Structure 1
């Protein structure tokens, strides 16, 4: 086969709206799926993408080119998960139809982010973007804004931060503490923006957590425990900072002492959380009879970094005139030196374990 006409539905509207399973191979299957999608949602642009791909296929066949059309669909969780699904579908199709080149058909820039994935597997001769021509009334500003807000991807991004800010402001007004409204709004919107920024990573780890839960792995329990410890440590650290802040104010303590107090209170709780998460992987590998060294090595470095942070913050607290209660700087420097020594020993132990020869796989001998 010479050419493969590739249509992309990155957010899987075909599956969610028309209940059609991708990949779709061949002209008839694609037309049938496009009709189902158009019936379910006449305004979905993926319908026009598929019909555009069919037209390109007809043009290629009329010129005597050996071509076929395939439509790939990803997942509503746009990002790593959806792109991995499309990449797996593409690998499967290329085994069946080892085409020399491809024509990439999309409805916009979002689908075209998959071009590098396709290019890593085959040559792309052309990229076609299907743009729907509309009447002047439908191109009005009102129509564009209305339909943009009806799009869940846009509405969630736009309305959720505004809704959070309004609710938090109303709550602080209700308790007659308007000064805390700004802090609460900034914290909530900041957390939401972090979640949106790390959305792919959060979704990936959520999928791994569900997989470990349904497969009965120890990693689910240890991940849950680690998450609880992170939340607990953060709350305890913030309580310490808040007590210092309300006692004298940030002008008295400064940002560095407050940050030092937070790190000193939370460092071992965070380290314990990481060790719990790592321990679950070790237990699961032991259960499956797999080597555990790759998960054992991080434990040494987690403890090493924990000693470094704990020793450094202990020394800074002992030297601070506002944080230390009659603290002795000499004791602080001793703790810092001891912690550095322990950190180096643990790091060297981790390096030693990582440099050990890998054990031979007993199953390969069989």
Structure 2
């Protein structure tokens, strides 16, 4: 049995903030009387929603701990996230939880939820308070066939109408259907390969929470992330355009195919190598802009200059691969690229030293 002076908190989590959205009530809600009033109002406002049952279950657990277990220092509270979900909901929940802990000095918590979406926040809550139990509220339903169809239709409507589900049930399938239609026109011969590639990328992103990492990076380096996104699109266009051009050629070796790939035209005016150079340049430009207040790093400027001069090096290399060009010209361009890059790095370092000397 937990000692009363250590403090126990019965915590009901509404991750999508249905309580705040439907009742216009600010969270956190602390205290048996306050939670009971909100639960009654919510049940009258939306009697079909299980969030009311979760609040009643939290009150029931609070009374059990206080009356049956004899824990005196116990409290019940409701905290809420955001309809937008993700990191925004998590930050709001953490803020409200810390507010309650600071007010009552609670050490232990029992989490009460009405579904897996509320329990997603459990690992984060455990960083701030020791969770000694989780109570999952399951609402009993009629087992008749007619009621089953009514319930199924109700859940299907929620999947289509509610924002936290709509982006998965409508947004993602709609995106794939749109991409399938576009790819079937642009590259009908590779549609399944590219479709599997896109699905694999999406699964990879969600599986390793890369979307959350990207959101965090956006707050730190917004221009770099935007430039990298554009660069990825340019890489994709370059790859598709180059592959489409090379696939129409016959009787060429692998090295010749690489040369033709680099010098193939995209849109009739731009070479694939131009798109590659632009794609490599954009993230560096974004990085330099994001770090403008601290001043550009010599390594970033050097990499930017080297990539720009690399364009002609790749052109000369592609000429050699397809049986033309001159090896000496390629070597001269490589040397010129190295020399120009070195000069720019030296100039940036000199400018930084002069600035530091003045300050």
Q: Which moved more, 1:258-267 or 1:49-58?
A: 258-267
| Post-superposition CA distance 1:253-312 (Å, at most 9, x none) | 6986687668732344234433443344345x4xxxxxx16x747735753884798698
Task: Check the 8 A contact 1:3/1:67 in 2, yes or no.
Answer: yes
Residue 328 (1) aligns with residue 326 (2)? yes
Choose which of 238, 249, 273 in structure 2 pairs with 1:264: 273
The TM-score, its normalising length taken from structure 2, stands at 0.68
Task: Determine if contact 1:225/1:273 at 8 Å carries over to the other structure.
Answer: no
Task: Tell me whether 1:61 sits opposite 2:99 in the alignment.
Answer: no
| CA 1:156–1:342: 2 relative to 1, 3 Å | same
For residues 249 and 154 of structure 1, do their structure 2 counterparts lie closer, same or farther at Cα, with a shift above 3 Å needed? farther
- In 1, the alpha carbon distance for the partners of 2:233 and 2:187 equals 27
The reply on whether 1:158 has 2:169 as its aligned counterpart is yes
Question: Alignment partner of 1:248: what SS?
Answer: coil
Q: Which residue of 1 aligns with 2:85?
A: 78
- The match for 1:43 among 35, 41, 48 is 48
Cα gap change, 1:98/1:264 in structure 2, threshold over 3 Å: closer, same or farther?
Answer: farther
Note the C-alpha offset of 1:204. Answer: 5.3
Offset at 1:29?
A: 2.4
Relative distance call for 1:15 and 1:244 in structure 2 (3 A) is same
Q: 1:178 to 1:340 in 2, by over 3 A?
A: closer
**TM-score, with length taken from structure 1:** 0.67
Query: May I ask how many residue pairs the two structures share in their alignment?
Result: 333
Aligned CA RMSD, in angstroms, stands at: 5.0
Q: Is the 8 A contact 1:105 1:128 kept in 2?
A: yes
Distance in 2 separating the partners of 1:94 and 1:9: 18
Unaligned runs of 5+ in 2: 264-270
Q: Does 1:277 align with 2:286?
A: yes
Q: Helix, strand or coil: the match of 2:47?
A: coil
Distance 2:288 2:40 in 1: 51
Cα 1:67–1:193 shift into 2, 3 Å: same
Instruction: Give the counterpart of 1:26 among 16, 20, 31.
Output: 31
- Relative to structure 1, the CA distance from residue 318 to residue 132 in structure 2 (aligned partners, 3 Å threshold; closer, same or farther) is same
The one-character-per-residue Cα deviations of 1:337-358 (angstroms, maximum 9, x if unpaired) are: 665787799999999999x9xx
Could you say which residue in structure 1 is the equivalent of 2:101? 94
Structure 1 position 157, deviation (Å): 2.2
CA deviation map 1:108-163 (0-9, x unaligned): 33322322222222222212111112221378477447514532444532344544
- Aligned pairs for 1:185-264 (under 5 A) are 186=195, 190=199, 193=202, 197=206, 198-201=210-213, 208=219, 226=227, 230=231, 233-234=234-235, 237=238, 240-241=241-242, 244-245=245-246, 247-248=248-249, 264=273
2:234/2:275 contact within 8 Å kept? yes
1:82-127 deviation line (CA, Å, top 9, x unaligned): 2122112222222222112111122233322322222222222212
Does the 8 A contact of 2:306 with 2:338 survive in 1?
no
State the Cα distance separating 1:185 from its structure 2 match: 8.5
Specify the alignment match of 2:140 in structure 1: 133
